Amino acid sequence: MFILEKPYVSVLLKKTLTEMNAIVLDNEVARSAMKGSSLKLYSDQNFIKAYNENPAQPVYSNSENAIDWIDNNLSSAGLPGKIRLFKDKAAFRNLVKDIYPDFFYRTVKFDELDKVDPQQTSIPCVIKPCVGFFSLGVHMIESVDGWHKAVTAIKGEVEHIKTMYPAKVLELDNFIIEQCIEGEEFAIDAYYDNSGNPVILNILGHLFASSDDVGDRCYITSPEIIKKHHDNFIGLLKEIGKRADLNNFPIHIEIRADEQGNLGVIEVNPMRFAGWCVTDLAYHAYEINPYKYYMKGLIPDWEAIFESRKDKVYAMVIGDIDSSVDCKKIVSIDYEAFKMNFSNPLELRKINYKEYPVFAFMFAEVDKDNMQELTKMLYYDFSRYLKLE
């Protein structure tokens, strides 16, 4: 069962839905995305009926914009409660509190950010909305002065952020302050099968430009990354799934791992894999269709995959637009020039930059010894590709 919502429905997802003759909720986004397809969409009533007849069946949404509809219509098997457990970062911290007994975190209302004494927090730290998405409203803080600058910045960002995503995706009344988690950052697309066993479909390394960078500009995956971290990450996923009683449930989880193998969970995003359908990187890299694997309970044959893709790295690069740019004043984008940055581009997705502060997603392949092609993107000024009025 699928619920399609903004901000993006990929070609791979649309093709998969048609091939599987999937149960897809009839809404404005689905009608637009599946226009010209032979797929029959399900009305609210028929979709709810199909779910209630078998609430254990897999449900997937490409976007957390669907959470509000799920809250109001698919409550018979406790699905909204499980979603909320992960969407609310404070609730999730409470779930795993005894796994990380020394981890500092606290919640604070937006209106009371000015009253927080930064000396009473664990600096360096991160402050972010308790319910958030896409690094919006997230700030890394490395000093007392940095705390005050972050609070000022958040106040300026909140009203703008509210115009981009529904309230269920971003709830800006409450923020969480957390100590920094050490180690390399990874994002994992995984699902829990019918028996509650976790299955990893991809592991993405998150590249940063600096220690205080919280952006999402570049993620990479490779056989080397999966070999090194798969088994350790599976152990953590089993513990989370047991505590939350998960089965037939997709997640996108962000983790930091240090050289000793210690794992710290940043957050868990429920009901989906990597947002904006960038989970499709697994298809480009490993021929793993994440939607089909989840729905059919398939498990990747990693050993065969490793053998066929030695010394390759696969990347997703976001063509983001600096917050100083008024997107409404953009006349055009030089996509061909942007594409020229990549020696082996796999897919260029053009994004509606009038609606979102992003003009493109690029999937690319590079040789392992050519990582500079990707790391230079972390510092690149993409405004050179924008033509303003």
Render each residue's pLDDT in the chain as its tens digit; 389 residues.
999 999 999 999 999 999 999 999 999 999 999 999 999 999 999 999 999 999 999 999 999 889 989 999 998 888 999 998 998 888 888 898 888 888 888 888 888 888 888 877 878 888 888 776 556 678 888 888 888 888 888 877 776 665 565 544 455 678 888 888 888 999 999 999 999 999 999 999 999 988 777 688 999 999 999 999 999 999 999 999 999 999 999 999 999 898 877 788 888 999 999 999 999 999 999 999 999 999 999 999 999 999 989 899 999 999 999 988 999 899 999 999 999 999 999 999 999 999 999 999 999 999 999 999 999 999 999 999 999 98
* Measured distance between the N- and C-terminal CA atoms of the chain, rounded to whole angstroms: 44
Fold (topology level) of 184-388: D-amino Acid Aminotransferase; Chain A, domain 1 (3.30.470)
Kindly state the percentage of the chain with pLDDT values over 90.
Answer: 64
What's the pLDDT score for residue 33? 97
Is residue 296 a contact partner of residue 267, using CB atoms and an 8 Å limit? no
What's the pLDDT score for residue 162? 59
CA 98 to chain centroid: 25
What's the pLDDT score for residue 88? 81
* CA–CA dist 254, 168 (Å, integer): 20
> Tokens 């910045």 appear where?
153
What's the pLDDT score for residue 90? 81
Whose CA is closest to 175, among 237, 239, 127? 127
> Tokens 């000793």 appear where?
260
What's the pLDDT score for residue 312? 95
Q: Where are the domains of the chain?
A: 2-85, 96-179, 184-388
Residue 300: count other Cβ atoms within 10 Å of its Cβ.
Answer: 19
What's the pLDDT score for residue 150? 87
* CA–CA dist 310, 14 (Å, integer): 30
Helix, coil or strand: residue 280 = helix
* CA–CA dist 249, 235 (Å, integer): 17
Q: Please determine, looking at this structure, whether the domain spanning 96-179 carries the CATH number 3.30.2350.10.
A: no
Is residue 342 a contact partner of residue 365, using CB atoms and an 8 Å limit? no
Is residue 325 a contact partner of residue 383, using CB atoms and an 8 Å limit? yes
What's the pLDDT score for residue 207? 94
What's the pLDDT score for residue 58? 96
Please give the single-letter amino acid code of residue 353: Y
What's the pLDDT score for residue 177? 86
